[in-house]
Amino acid sequence: MQENKGKIIIITAPSGSGKTSITHYLLNKYPGLCFSISATTRSPRGSEQHGVEYYFLSVEEFQSKINEHAFIEWEMVYEGKYYGTLKEELERIWNDGRVPVLDIDVKGAIHVQGEFPGKCLSIFIQPPSVEELKRRLESRGTETPESIATRVNKASYELSFNHHFHHIVVNEQLDKACAQTEDLIKEFLGW
Ligand code: 5GP
């Protein structure tokens, strides 16, 4: 496991591609992987809790962390909503002898890859089509029509970045996409 210290797995995709389901599958199956909890200024959705899905911060708290250089990367992913990966979070996971899994947006993913060359495995989860992605977002039932429209517009743009990453996994069928992603990670970590 020691040889995997400092390694990072990045799962990136437009919102609604199924990357969170794939990430959950991996985390449940491999205790050596650990979800990297991002900080965000968006409000919790449904049953989300501080310190589980995200560290929910106020804009002021988030900005002071930016000033303290506490982030590996941060982005305003949606208008007025900040998201970022804390250096401390990655340290916590590495010190625990595990490998962090980052579920982050495309720009953040490109940034982290640049910061840790040779240490990252980046996987882009591609939805079969933008129409299918819209349908999935609608069926979640947690998004407003405005939020769906914002996410669909952003997704079309993000899809054009797929070639920046080590691998593209098309999520046509969730179980197949999970298995493909799992194989890539096992190979990267020598498991
Ligand atoms: P959601 O609001 O649906 O939880 O997340 C919105 C988007 O922000 C998703 O694409 C998610 O992967 C991304 N995201 C979550 N955490 C981070 C982060 O720390 N940095 C960046 N750049 N994006 C993030």
Q: What is the CATH number of the domain that holds 48?
A: 3.40.50.300
Q: Quote the domain boundaries for residue 109.
A: 2-189
Binding site annotation covers 17? yes
CA 116, 181, 172, 146 torsion: positive or negative? Answer: negative
Task: Note the pTM of the prediction, 2 decimals.
Answer: 0.92
Q: How far apart are CA 125 and CA 106, in angstroms?
A: 10
Q: Is 150 annotated as a binding residue?
A: no
| Structural domain count of the chain | 1
- Please name the residue whose Cα sits nearest to atom 15 of ligand 1: 104
Q: How far apart are CA 173 and CA 155, in angstroms?
A: 19
If the chain, 191 residues long, is cut into consecutive pieces of 10 residues, what is the mean pLDDT of each piece? 87 88 96 98 96 97 98 91 97 97 95 94 93 87 86 89 96 96 97 95
- Cβ neighbours of 17 (radius 10 Å): 27
pLDDT at 115: 94
Q: Which residue's CA lies nearest to atom 2 of ligand 1? A: 42
Q: Residue 8 is which amino acid? A: I
Q: 31: part of which helix (H) or strand (E)? A: none
Q: Cα-Cα-Cα-Cα dihedral of 156, 161, 166, 172, to 10°?
A: 10
pLDDT for res 120: 97
Report the phi/psi class of residue 5: left, alpha or beta, with left for phi > 0 and alpha for psi in -120 to 50.
beta
Name 34's Cβ contacts closer than 8 Å, sequence gap at least 6.
27, 93, 96, 98, 99, 100, 101
Ligand 1: atom nearest CA of 81 is 2
Ligand 1 center–CA 19 separation, angstroms: 11
Q: Please enumerate in sequence order all residues whose Cβ is within 8 A of that of 79, keeping only pairs 6 or more positions apart, or say none.
A: 150
Q: Is 53 in the pocket of ligand 1 (CB under 6 A)?
A: no
Give one word for 6, left, alpha or beta, with left for phi > 0 and alpha for psi -120 to 50: left
Say which DSSP state 163 is in: G
Task: Tell whether 20 is in a known binding site.
Answer: yes
> How far is residue 160's CA from residue 124's CA, in Å, rounded to a whole number?
11
